[in-house]
Amino acid sequence: MNPRRDYQLGLLYVTISAVAWSLAGYFSRLIPLDSFTLLAWRGIFGAASLLIVVVLFRGRNWWREFTEIGKPEMAYIALTVAGMIMFITSLGHTSVAHGAVIYATIPFLAAFLGWIFLKEFPSRSAMNSSMFAILGVILMVGFGSDGGLLGDMLAFGMTCTMACSIIVMRRNPHMSAMASACIGAIVSGAICWPLGAPLDVTGIQFFQLALFGLTNSAVGLAFFALGSKKLPAVETALIGALDAPMAPLWVWLAFNEKPGVNTLIGGGMVFAAVVAHIVASQRRGAPAHA
């Protein structure tokens, strides 16, 4: 495939995954259940949805995807489980806006890890955009008042697991990513099942949980897996940071959970940084190398 076309597809796929993941806060507010119950059903429905994706991609040989689980896949599964649990739990202890914008620190983490483990050197555009994005995070976390320390720490832990998963994916482009994500989803659901009250959900909540698993796991993880193979680590992380301005937007529109002024400004800075980098990359007429 043409490298430029491949790069553009990577941008599109990671952007779709960011939009899908940005809806997590919306679903966590929509469904009034404890974090463990949410995680249990999200894992089950997410795994079922991802299994369907694997079957569609691999056809009759879909089962082979699950027989090729090696060390990279095991690492990805562990990171997926840890990230899922920390992310959903963080939403119960901090605002959606805080959690989303903390996630915007991921370009720096991915750039550092990519430099150490992959010898990928971030382009000037990627690093300039990342630095501007981090200023937005500092403004929000340092001066905002709509978060909580425990939730912020969990959100940052989730961010670290995502940065590591980007490196694992980038370093092992032929790994069984979607099968690993499927296993990670069902494992996280199984871990959280006895800790919540999954059998107490209502009919409408069951339907909402199914949508949550489909959107957040199948769409989010599948497109993330496809896109992160086509982009440098820092750029995957930078585009993924679009979650920051979008997540509080959905919650604000649906539930009137108004973010603070500093949070709005910080999220706007993150969004501007990502857009500026995409525009700069397209003007160069070639994929940005990191």
The DSSP line for 100-158 is HHHGGGHHHHHHHHIIIII-PPPPHHHHHHHHHHHHHHHHHHHH--S--HHHHHHHHHH
Q: What percent of the chain has pLDDT over 70?
A: 92
Q: How many CB atoms lie within 10 A of CB 285?
A: 7
Q: What is the pLDDT of residues 16-26, one digit of tens each?
A: 998 998 888 88
Choice between 139 and 46, residue whose per-residue pLDDT is larger: 46
Q: What is the pLDDT of residues 127-137, one digit of tens each?
A: 777 778 777 76
Mean pLDDT of the chain: 82
For residue 126, with 0-12 CB atoms within 10 Å meaning exposed, 13-18 middle and 19 or more buried, which class applies? buried
What is the average pLDDT across 274-278? Answer: 74
DSSP per-residue letters across 11-39: HHHHHHHHHHHHTHHHHHHHS---HHHHH
* pLDDT reported for residue 183: 92
Distance CA 267, CA 178 (A): 30
Nearest to 43 by CA among 80, 72, 17: 80
Q: Give residue 169's identity as a one-letter amino acid code.
A: M
pLDDT band at 282 (very low <50, low <70, confident <90, very high): low
The CA–CA distances, whole Å, from 128 to 108, 111, 143, 170, 212 equal 11, 12, 23, 22, 34
Residue in the block written with tokens 């991915």 = 110
Residue in the block written with tokens 């095991």 = 74
The answer to whether residue 289 scores a pLDDT higher than 50 is no
The CA–CA distances, whole Å, from 146 to 101, 178, 204, 280 equal 12, 35, 30, 33
The CA–CA distances, whole Å, from 84 to 14, 80, 214, 231 equal 18, 6, 14, 23
The answer to whether residue 45 scores a pLDDT higher than 90 is yes
Nearest to 45 by CA among 217, 220, 222, 225: 217
Gyration radius (Cα) of the chain, Å:
18
* pLDDT reported for residue 288: 45
What is the average pLDDT across 252-260? Answer: 80
* pLDDT reported for residue 206: 94
* pLDDT reported for residue 147: 59
144 φψ region: left (φ > 0), alpha (ψ -120 to 50), beta (else): beta
What is the average pLDDT across 67-87? Answer: 88
In this structure, what token pair is assigned to residue 228? 């992160």
pLDDT band at 140 (very low <50, low <70, confident <90, very high): low
The answer to whether residue 188 scores a pLDDT higher than 70 is yes
Highest mean pLDDT among 48-62, 190-204, 276-290: 190-204
